[in-house]
Structure 1
Amino acid sequence: MAEQRPLHVLLAGPRGFCAGVDRAIKIVEEALRRYGAPVYVRHEIVHNRFVVQSLERQGAVFVEELDEIPDDGQPVVFSAHGVPKAIPAEAERREMFFLDATCPLVSKVHREAEHHFGRGRHMFLIGHAGHPEVVGTMGQLPPGAVTLVEDEEEARRVQPPEGVPLAFITQTTLSVDDTAEIVDILRGRFPEMSAPAKEDICYATTNRQAAVKAIAPQVDMMIVVGAPNSSNSVRLKEVALRAGCAQSLMVQRGADLDLARLEGVSRLGITAGASAPEVLVEEVLARLRERFAVTTEEVVVAEEKITFKLPSALTAQPA
């Protein structure tokens, strides 16, 4: 057997599951434990196929809309990304038993939107069109109350209603640097615009991006373990390139990694999006060990100790 070439891996810390993702998955698992299968989940609970398929094996049934769910009294879970107000209203009309797994940090943005609207402000929402979190946030208010701003170009040309005070809110999973540039442009045009009382981009997104920035200049390539429809995972790939890494690629599973891509790579960074479990990072490391003599080093920029409580319906003692 040929001698394995050395490969030094810098593991980003923190990486992988955040408190909001962990809570959402536990809500589905606890609902299954308490009420049995099926438990219906509107939209992917988090953007990771491994997680979704694991829950499906336990009895979760994923749907896109409530009209796909029969009136059988079984629990319905709303995903971590949040939903427009019309969704729980429809669930109540149908007398469904529903559990809201919206991340509390997304719910905070929803409350901010209502706060600004209640004070007569028109809102800019910095985010990506069509992302479930953006759909859910815009759906907290009447049509026309929010203008979506996706990038710097839109920030330069967006025209809000005249004579109305302005505020901005953001999707929680954006690039910290890109968002700051968009906000700077909007502030330059609308200096009286109100800002969130506290940063909307969540702690987990910020910490994972900071870890990638610390590692990127030290490695030849960055691997992001995550799904292509996961906003925070895609941002990690972009942040690595912006921070000076020559190559950045995303894989969902260890088996997806083409080892030929590592030709000439001696130092490798690995991180994982907030919806990717650590077992998938272990898969990638196992794949690397098939060809390389792997050594690892953790680069930790923050310790995360935040946890979120489950809904009371899942913590109360059965009657």
Structure 2
Amino acid sequence: MSTSLDHATRAQARVALVSEAGSTPSGARPRVAIVTCAEIPLLEDDDRLVLPALAALGVDAEPVVWDDPDADWSSYDLVVLRSPWDYAQRHDEFLAWAAGVPRLVNPAETVAWNTDKRYLAELAAAGLPVTPTMFLAPGDPWTPPAGGGEYVIKPAVSAGSRDTGRYGPADTVQAVAHVRRLQAAGRITMVQPYLPAVDSYGETALLYFADPATGRLAYSHAIRKGPMLTGPDEGMETLYKLEEITPRTPTAAERAVGDAVVATLPAGLVYARVDLIPDERGNPLLVELELTEPSVFMLHDAAAATRLAAAITWAL
């Protein structure tokens, strides 16, 4: 495996090939596939911003659907996961595909770990502040938590808000039915307390992109996401639910947690998103670490697309 210095040197050499007109000598331009799904074959507006930013660095990039049988992944110098948002329904197939793609980022090993949210237990065991989470295997007994608080039920392998619900003391029957439905399908189920701060303060998502100078993830920008869950799971059919999103400057405590989380990650990652919600005392808790196909909200930071393009070019 190349060292971070190797990557940085190679990236700088490619950038040096770019003329003021944004072109490179014939045959010198690397090709990058930006991976998406069949529902959005041309990418979301946000993800499309990276295409001209890569072109300015002498890189030809194009969207490619991950399960397109005609895609020749070996023809690309790099394959970048961005929006394969249907992976959760075909998890095993997706992991097998990822393992067979040369030059994939983030790497297939990371994808396999990160697409099963039991990674939260590992991060909690490492001493990071993680939202308390119970994991239920198929067949495990479960009764709704006592105490009158609200809680969230969702599968350990999921995308967006599919199969996710918010429950309270009046929703016991629906909550039990939700857990049993997931278990009957052979899925690992998660139960977490609902953090009330999300309704007022919201959720903070911190974005990190690889720094070409160091080869390590570096903070890029942050956004605020408003609350998404309003009640029990009602069988939402879409993969992505529109959220209330605005730019946010993270607090010092949020930056500290975000930096601590990414410090545990292996080298070679191009992007990461750390999602935090305050607990009842205002301390930020990790609710999700996105290393596979996170939205990175480049529309909310003018320089984000340039930073992501530089990170991708570093990985070439």
Pair in the same fold by TM > 0.5: no
Which structure would you say has the larger Rg?
1
Q: Which has the higher contact order (CA 8 A, sep 6+)?
A: 1
TM-score tier (shorter) = 0.3 to 0.5
- Normalized per residue, the structure richer in helix is 1
Task: Report the TM-score, using the length of structure 2 for normalisation.
Answer: 0.35
Task: Report the TM-score, using the length of structure 1 for normalisation.
Answer: 0.35
